[in-house]
Amino acid sequence: MKLFKSVKTTLLAASLVLSSPMALADIHFLVPAGPGGGWDTTARGVGEGLVKAGIDNNASFQNMSGGGGGRAIAYLIESGTKKGDILMVNSTPIVLRALTGKIPYSYRDLTPVANMIADFGAFVVRNDSPYKTWQDVIKALKEDPSSIKVAGGSARGSMDHLVAAQAAKAGGVDGRRIRYIPYDGGGKAKAGLLSGEVNLLSTGLSEALEVANGGQARVLAVTSPEALADYPKIPTLKSMGYDMEFVNWRGFFAAPNLPADKLAQYTEKLRKLQSTPEWETVRARNGWLNLFQEKDEFIQSLEKQEAQLKVAMQELGFIRKAD
């Protein structure tokens, strides 16, 4: 019996990490950033759920950083459906970076397949940090906004920066004055925090939990509208009197010329996954909320967020207001 379990575990592990030619995999996930960030965690979590639930036999993953996510989007557009079943994970940054002009593409250049989860922003410090609470951070920022180096796994003006700026603004600090240090992906941003290069990490909750669970860091606050059932001890900004909340969706996109039958196949797989115990294990581990939306509803959400973020970014000076 032990031998059988060992062989079964080995085969499952192999099916999850398949990284040879994507044609060998039932489904191939394209991650537009380096390892360790929210996109990477989401793609691998969904792939893990699909395989363990028996919906797919195997899944492969490809990290393709560069151009603020633009390189991966260009690859998906140019590849079309010629290279097999490819789903690219993305989130709020595809809207933000299009608004700022940092990438020459938007979600309109792709096929939105389905939204999968909602994640929240979170702020993390090392265990030896002098900032014991979020109030300590705000106090220091009020005294000198440049005194705290804030790391994020995305470029200036992107999501990690925007969330930190909005949180600072809610505390009475000019969000445009925070000292934001961009890294190429969440993994490098986490390393920057732990090495002491920066004082504070602005990231997604799942990445925050990962670094905190390593025993070297603490989560000071989360941007959820109310306390999280899975992690009730993490204070929300609202519970501390700061009127700020932020929800970051994460979903999947395919090539612009995706056939209708393939879209239906992808949608059914992701819908089916949401009701499995294997997915619940992944979801709870990362502190995500289920936010499944099929193509039409997903597009409506994208359009609504685009309008809201445009106003917020204009107020913070990240983009110019139209004359």
Say if 204 falls within a structural domain. Answer: yes
Say if 320 falls within a structural domain. Answer: no
The dihedral formed by the CA atoms of 31, 34, 36 and 38, expressed in degrees to the nearest 10: -50
The single residue listed with the structure tokens 């929210």 is 38
Residue 216 corresponds to which amino acid? Q
125 is written with which tokens? 């410090």
Which CATH number do you get for residue 64?
Answer: 3.40.190.150
Q: What integer pLDDT is reported at residue 2 of this predicted model? A: 41
73 and 171 part of one domain: no
Total count of domains within the chain? 2
Q: Are 162 and 316 in contact (CB under 8 A)?
A: yes
The packing angle between helices 38-52 and 2-16, to 10°, is 140
172 and 259 part of one domain: no
**Alpha-carbon gap, residue 262 to 264, rounded angstroms:** 5
Q: What integer pLDDT is reported at residue 16 of this predicted model? A: 55
215 and 252 part of one domain: no
Q: What integer pLDDT is reported at residue 68 of this predicted model? A: 80
Q: Which residues make Cβ contacts (< 8 Å) with residue 77, sequence separation at least 6? A: 105, 109, 110, 255, 256
46 and 85 part of one domain: yes
Q: For residue 235, what is the DSSP state?
A: P
Q: How far is CA 51 from CA 17, 41, 61, 250, 257, in A?
A: 11, 15, 13, 20, 26
113 is written with which tokens? 């397949």
pLDDT in tens, 203-228: 999 889 989 999 999 999 999 989 99
**Alpha-carbon gap, residue 289 to 181, rounded angstroms:** 28
DSSP string, 140-170: HHHH-GGGSEEEESS-TTSHHHHHHHHHHHH
Q: Are 254 and 266 in contact (CB under 8 A)?
A: yes
pLDDT in tens, 24-60: 689 999 999 988 888 999 999 999 999 999 999 999 9
Q: What integer pLDDT is reported at residue 322 of this predicted model? A: 67
Q: Could you tell me the pTM of the whole model?
A: 0.76
Q: Are 91 and 55 in contact (CB under 8 A)?
A: no
147 and 206 part of one domain: yes
Q: What integer pLDDT is reported at residue 7 of this predicted model? A: 38
**Alpha-carbon gap, residue 240 to 189, rounded angstroms:** 26
**Which one of 218, 246, 274 terminates a domain?**
246
136 is written with which tokens? 């300590």
The packing angle between helices 38-52 and 205-213, to 10°, is 90
46 and 32 part of one domain: yes
Say if 323 falls within a structural domain. Answer: no
Provide the residue range defining the domain that includes 54: 2-119+248-314
286 and 202 part of one domain: no
175 and 235 part of one domain: yes
Q: What integer pLDDT is reported at residue 58 of this predicted model? A: 95
Residue 29 CB burial class (10 angstroms; 0-12, 13-18, ≥19): buried
Q: Mean pLDDT of successive 10-residue segments in the chain (323 residues)?
A: 41 47 76 89 97 96 90 91 85 90 91 95 97 98 96 87 94 95 90 97 92 94 92 96 93 95 96 98 92 96 91 83 66
Q: Are 145 and 178 in contact (CB under 8 A)?
A: yes
The single residue listed with the structure tokens 């970076």 is 97
Say if 322 falls within a structural domain. Answer: no
Residue 194 CB burial class (10 angstroms; 0-12, 13-18, ≥19): middle
Q: What integer pLDDT is reported at residue 143 of this predicted model? A: 97
